Structure 1
Amino acid sequence: MFDSLKKKLAGLFKKESKDDENLNINDKVNENISNKSENQESLFIKRDEFDERVQEILIESDVSFESAERIVEMLKNREKKLSRKISYDDIKSNLRSVLYDVLSQAKSDLDLLNVDKKPYVILFIGINGTGKTTTIGKIASYLKNNNKKVVIAAGDTFRAGAIEQISIIGEKTGTEVIKHDFGSDPASVAYDAIEHARARRIDYVLIDSAGRMQTNKNLLSEMKKIKRVARPDLTLLVLDGMIGNDAIEQAKTFMNEINFDGVVLTKLDTDARGGAVISVAMEIKKPIMFVGVGQGLNDIMRFDPDWYLDKIFSS
């Protein structure tokens, strides 16, 4: 997970030398402490060179150009009082601190397990292939594992196999699925699921929807209708964490056309670059509610900046 970004960042914290290019910076620092008179200069790096390399690494790792520029500017502002040459320990600490400031703004304060309203209605939107239906299953499992009652609305009535797929998810999680025939009005499915939940004192309604390209105006209009009818308490945009800056463009279009309250980033377990997390945090201005970290129905977690930073800065 995030191996490419992790390796590139690790390269920043190594002493580059002809005789030992691959020695980890932590080991090199320890070596220098014992040989201060010979190797004191290797503890430092020119700040301008470091800032330039940070920006390159971020862009190479799917962080948007604008976000990478802003991160480097934040880093420079933090280091203004330092000398032209700074220690590796300083730059590593400062970079992590800057990224934490960025990511902490995307951490949600909402505790989904402790909401007052019943039923609490969640609408899931996004294009095909993001893992939206699987994400619904994961969140259903998350809620049920915490002793909550859940019902799923099979709102994707446009795709032939979608109703069957969400029904299988329901069976696996032990969750009832409200469904109509293929081609029926998805807004009516959402309405029936909500009324079903009200009558039976069910805690949560999770509404699936047809995956659609964010440029398809007709389908976006249908989504607006679902939202008007269901009046969800929370609308979550499901984004594929592997598609990099395309995720930002998707999010911006959905924001303009439908609006949403938070993001679920999927497939992070297979994402080597890892920069999409940073771009989403900086540019979307909506909380990252959950991240998908595996293939199983329990492989979902609330987004935690420290978890992400531990992944990319671990040795």
Structure 2
Amino acid sequence: MFESLKKKFSRTSEKLEEEIIEEAEAEDNLQEEKGTRFSFFSFGRKNKEEKEEDKEDESNLLPEAEDTSMDEETSADEVEEDKKSGFFSRFRSSDDEAEEDSEEDSEEEVEEDLEEDIEEVQEEKKSHFWSRNKDKDKNKEDISADGEATGGLFSFVREKTISEKHVEDILFELEMELLQADVAMEVASEVVDSVKNDLVGKKIKRSNDITEYTFLALRNAVAEIIDIPGKSMTEMIEAKKQEGEPLVVMFVGINGTGKTTTIGKLANYYLKRGYTPVIAASDTFRAGAIEQVTYHADNVGVKIIKHKKGSDPAAVAFDAVEHAKAQGKELVLIDTAGRMQTNTNLMDEMKKIKRVSKPDLLVFVGDALTGNDATEQAKKFNEAIDIDGVILTKADADSKGGASLSIGYVIKKPIMFLGVGQGYDDIKEYDAEWMLNQLFSEDDEAIEVEE
């Protein structure tokens, strides 16, 4: 789910890491160390306790110099020389051999050897840094099930700060990629601005810091966008039940988005939770539409109110509401004819159904796979009749994630349900935290649907 969008987020982190490491290398401000390198998505699985433990572990990752006995008169140059000697000692023979060589060789020979060692290590570090991208298969073998790897961990001799120049080109590229993924322009811009504000000025000591800060910045930006407040349909049913009235829900959208199937899924969803729904077949323009919604109603075992083809759709909706009130049913689901948002006559007919049935909720049903089209359709319907929420179908098959990320933010109305499969049980009440986990989890986990 949302594989394309997740890859774009991960690539942003990788590019920023490469940008800063390359700069640090040119500044002779980079050293490689043994330790655990975390992948972008691994930070989503780490709780606070684990992060504290990681910080304690990472504080011991820097290699120690061979000889730590220094008197107070040791100069800064000598300290730096000792650090270099300790860091690069792994390219020499054992400690004992190094001590024997130092006794036998003259000071000039030792200095020459040290310079050669430094040059060799720098070349090896460069080779290792660039080989990370060239040899992806080898890197994958080093990554554990938790998204962690044992190689490629870098630290900076002098602490670095993420600046605007580091992120400018990278975030521009991210914005273009989000637009290509059918994310609305205003949403893509909001994500980029938020990430930029979060990252610029951050102090970093290790490459893991870059990955973690980028992960958190992206996650926070997306969290703000997808969390549109609103009451759940279940809460509203309970509130209306206390008043002795049914909750009336009217569904709108264009043809082919799965509106009628969604009504069948919702009838099944609430029937299993102890409520008694009734369906109104108010799409009277097509005989096939009445047959289709009747088929779903029969399959899930709920009452359907229908008239013959060509009858007044508002009258069908009114009869369904009266039936629910008379029979003590808690939920009325009104199916309407699919219509393009540009068809004035059909939009006027929809407004009439709304006036007559007086729905408590007016829900737009959109196809997640249509991306920006779904967002634009929702926008037009909202302008015409002021919708209350959105249901997105086919979310499980959506690799881009553009509609899921954009639609609620653009019209300032919440997503209420997601269709996540073809069966009647394959519908999920929307939860922003669940959505974040889908977007920021590396593994393609099975989508959990409430039974």
Aligned to 1:75: 195
Aligned to 1:142: 269
- Whether 2:424 is the aligned partner of 1:297: answer yes
Taking the aligned partners of 2:233 and 2:303, their CA distance within structure 1 comes to: 23
Q: Is the 8 A contact 1:291 1:303 kept in 2?
A: yes
Taking the aligned partners of 2:4 and 2:151, their CA distance within structure 1 comes to: 27
- Whether 2:212 is the aligned partner of 1:100: answer no
Which of these two proteins has the greater Rg computed from alpha carbons?
A: 2
Aligned to 2:176: 56
Q: Is the 8 A contact 1:123 1:235 kept in 2?
A: yes
Taking the aligned partners of 1:183 and 1:37, their CA distance within structure 2 comes to: 74
1:110-125 paired onto structure 2 within 5 Å: 110-113=232-235, 114-117=237-240, 118-125=245-252
Aligned to 1:171: 298
Taking the aligned partners of 1:79 and 1:282, their CA distance within structure 2 comes to: 23
Q: Is the 8 A contact 1:107 1:305 kept in 2?
A: no
User: Normalising to structure 1: TM-score of the pair?
Assistant: 0.90
2:319 is paired with a residue whose SS is helix
2:332 is paired with a residue whose SS is strand
Contiguous gaps of at least 5 residues in structure 2 = 19-128, 443-451
Q: Is the 8 A contact 2:369 2:397 kept in 1?
A: yes
1:12 is displaced (CA, Å) by 2.9
Aligned to 1:66: 186
Q: CA RMSD in A?
A: 2.5
1:107 is displaced (CA, Å) by 4.7
1:314 is paired with a residue whose SS is coil
1:6 is displaced (CA, Å) by 1.9
Identity rate, percent: 44
Taking the aligned partners of 1:119 and 1:304, their CA distance within structure 2 comes to: 24
Aligned to 2:436: 309
Listed one character per residue, the Cα deviations across residues 259-287 of structure 1 (whole Å, up to 9, x for unaligned) are 11001111111111111111113211001
Aligned to 1:89: 212
Taking the aligned partners of 2:355 and 2:199, their CA distance within structure 1 comes to: 49
1:177 is paired with a residue whose SS is strand
Aligned to 1:263: 390
2:239 is paired with a residue whose SS is coil
Q: Is the 8 A contact 2:8 2:174 kept in 1?
A: no
Taking the aligned partners of 1:249 and 1:52, their CA distance within structure 2 comes to: 24
Taking the aligned partners of 2:313 and 2:233, their CA distance within structure 1 comes to: 28
Listed one character per residue, the Cα deviations across residues 84-136 of structure 1 (whole Å, up to 9, x for unaligned) are 997111011111011111111x2533252553222110000001011100110
Q: Is the 8 A contact 2:282 2:337 kept in 1?
A: yes
1:240 is displaced (CA, Å) by 0.9
The number of residue pairs the alignment matches comes to 310
Taking the aligned partners of 2:399 and 2:349, their CA distance within structure 1 comes to: 35
1:83 is displaced (CA, Å) by 5.0
Contiguous gaps of at least 5 residues in structure 1 = none
1:48 is displaced (CA, Å) by 2.4
One-letter code aligned to 1:19: S
1:138 is displaced (CA, Å) by 0.9
The list of structure 1 runs, each at least 4 consecutive aligned residues, that deviate by more than 4 angstroms after superposition, is: 35-38, 83-86
Q: Is the 8 A contact 2:248 2:332 kept in 1?
A: yes
1:187-202 paired onto structure 2 within 5 Å: 187-202=314-329
2:365 is paired with a residue whose SS is strand
